[in-house]
Every structure is written in C-alpha cells, then in structure tokens.
Amino acid sequence: GDSVTQTEGLVTLTKGLPVMLNCTYQTTYSPFLFWYVQHLNEAPKLLLKSSTDNKRTEHQGFYATLHKSSSSFHLQKSSVQLSDSALYFCALRDQGGRALIFGTGTTVSVSP
C-alpha cells in the first residue's frame, strides 16, 4: 500500500548550518507530496507542497524537489535558525485523493 518513510527521528544541529530531512514514498499513482511543520504545543501547518517532477518548491527559506525517479521529496534549508526547531512531517495524498498519509516525523533541534 501507499506509505511515507522518514528515516531520521531526531536531527540536532547548530544555528547557521544547513539541514536536509529525508522523505521517500511508495505509491502506484501520481503523487502529491506535502511537508508540514509542528512547533511545540501547536498544530501542524503546511510548509510546502508539490506534484511536479524535478521542480523545486520553496517557502520560508525551506525548499524541496519532488523526484519521481527516486520517489523522494527531501526538505532542505541552507541556514537553520533557532525558530526552525520543530517537528517536521512529510505526507502523501492517498489513492482516494482526499486524505493524507503522514510519515513518522523528524524532530529538528537547533542550538545557538
């Protein structure tokens, strides 16, 4: 069945460094991929989304490129800030097209 895999449970890094969060997916239909961010004690919010192969999408300094050849949608940022400390979820639109399948999430912890 459809699935999303996020391999890192926790990423710790220092302010100003780059970060990449891995996301791979499995599906038999045309994929729609999303990244959601959840700050502590808040609700998840959409960060960015894509359904276009090999096109970079950006928002709030984060960017990701959907690669259908490798079934990947990795999230990147060139220089993390303290405010980027949060839980990040990758999600795939399900085959019915109306619900989301979420990965297990990656916690990013940025230190000064």
Partner 1 sequence: EAAVTQSPRNKVTVTGGNVTLSCRQTNSHNYMYWYRQDTGHGLRLIHYSYGAGNLQIGDVPDGYKATRTTQEDFFLLLELASPSQTSLYFCASSDGTDYAEQFFGPGTRLTVL
Using alpha carbons, select from 72, 59, 61, 57 the residue that is nearest to residue 18.
61
Extract the tokens encoding 16.
């100003």
Q: Mask: binding to partner 1, 56-95, rule CB under 8 A, as x and -?
A: ---------------------------------x-x-x--
Using alpha carbons, select from 107, 109, 100 the residue that is nearest to residue 37.
107
| Distance, CA of 99 to CA of 94 (rounded, Å) | 6
Among 11, 13, 15, 44, binds partner 1 (CB under 8 A): 44
Nearer to partner 1 by Cβ, of 46 and 82: the residue is 46
Q: Which residues sit at the interface with partner 1, rule CB under 8 A?
A: 6, 9, 32, 34, 42-46, 49, 51, 89, 91, 93, 97-105
